[in-house]
Homo-oligomer: A and B are copies of this chain.
Amino acid sequence: MRYKITIEYDGTNYKGWQSQDGLPTVQGAIESAVFAFCQEKTEVYGSGRTDAGVHALGMTAHMDIQKETDTETIKMALNAHLREEAIVILSVEKTADEFHARFDAKQRYYLYRILNRATPPALDVDRVWWVPQKLDIEKMRAGAKHLIGQHDFSSFRAAECQAQSPIRTVDEITFEKQGNEIWMRCQARSFLHHQIRNFIGSLVEVGRGKEEPIWIKEILEKKDRTTAGPTAPACGLYFEKVEY
């Protein structure tokens, strides 16, 4: 029987989603919990692979479990086995046998939180990127407009990116003020490695007045990672949800 699970996690103390021998990962922790529950060695396929330090509000994954059971029992049992982890299974649903959390995803949603004030966070350490310079949200919006649509995103792609093509379609980028924070949301069917953190790194250069919004268009057209801004820290990024 195939199940779709939705997961919240604090990525701070994990080496990312993907299992790596001997290292703490989100996938590895959930697979261990599944084994503790039903003594089955199951692969938990995530809809995306978040980097070390990136959080999730609603990561989805699928897995196959042979044991006769029900969704509520799986949820309670996995959460009991995950008690010492910073991972919570929000929901478990039965799905079709051919459902694939990664390949069937139609739209992925990410959130990036910037704390924009003179002083660092006391409460939201590891939850936001602290940018002390005053950011102009209108300029960031204007810069982000150039990223919407289908483009070759080589300038915003990590050197280690394993995707075959640098072409992606970004459907929406929004900016919202939340008290002292700026929340950027970005949605696309799929993303290149570090794409959103690289967007944010360059958009912050625009927001703090070092570059003009048109600079985003210029670096996009250069298709050269070295022309763009730095990669923003992982701790501000949240995998928000997936649409199937």
Contacts and interface: CB of A to CB of B under 8 A. Distances in A.
Interface of A: 8-10, 55, 57, 75, 79, 86-90, 117, 119-123, 125, 127
B120 A79 contact: yes
18 contacts: A8-B119, A8-B122, A8-B123, A9-B123, A10-B122, A55-B123, A57-B123, A79-B120, A86-B123, A86-B125, A87-B122, A88-B119, A88-B120, A88-B121, A88-B122, A89-B119, A90-B117, A90-B119
Nearest to A120: B88
A127 B117 CA distance: 21
A75 B75 CA distance: 47
Contacts of A90: 117, 119
Contacts of A117: 90
Contacts of A10: 122-123, 125
A79 B123 contact: no
A119 B75 contact: yes
- A-B interface, 3 closest residue pairs, ranked by CB to CB distance from nearest: A88-B122, A8-B122, A10-B123
A127 B119 CA distance: 20
From A9, A89, A119, residue with most partner B Cβ within 10 Å: A119
Contacts of A55: 123
